[in-house]
Structure 1
């Protein structure tokens, strides 16, 4: 687990996007963040019962996970290319890629 001081500025930006998305679903919960450097993403989760989790990529893609899903299977799904469709929720209008496509 990475603390805020251990994230790069780009990773912190991705983490904030993840916090915003999860905060729209369940408010008032604390967050944990882990940098996934190889995946060019961050893993953000909420502490407590019913908290969600999300992976946010530098390209602006996301993968939501229910609280019942464990961390490792979610990361493995990310590695195989699975993403949450842009039609799910309001995140498509609120979040922009941290790194422009093709960079």
Structure 2
């Protein structure tokens, strides 16, 4: 006997309701492509994303999502996402799946 059956025994007149499904909406607004740059700082490679013209809070959420999916460190400073390491190809494919226009700069 699972939990649902036990609850039906305790509350026979209760009607089960379905949870509403949440749809992900594309909340980011963008006119020009996001620039995906590669640089070396102090001998270590980094990937920089800049050129986003939407809300700053949305760009911060995007930075957090990229860092967790790639399992890397990074930061958000001066309207730029800085990711530790050279992950241009993976980041560009992730952004294209979300509907962004992405332009590769620097190699």
Question: How does the TM-score come out when normalised to structure 2?
Answer: 0.29
Name which structure has the greater RCO, CA cutoff 8 Å, separation 6+: 2
User: Comparing both structures, which one devotes a greater share of its residues to strand?
Assistant: 2
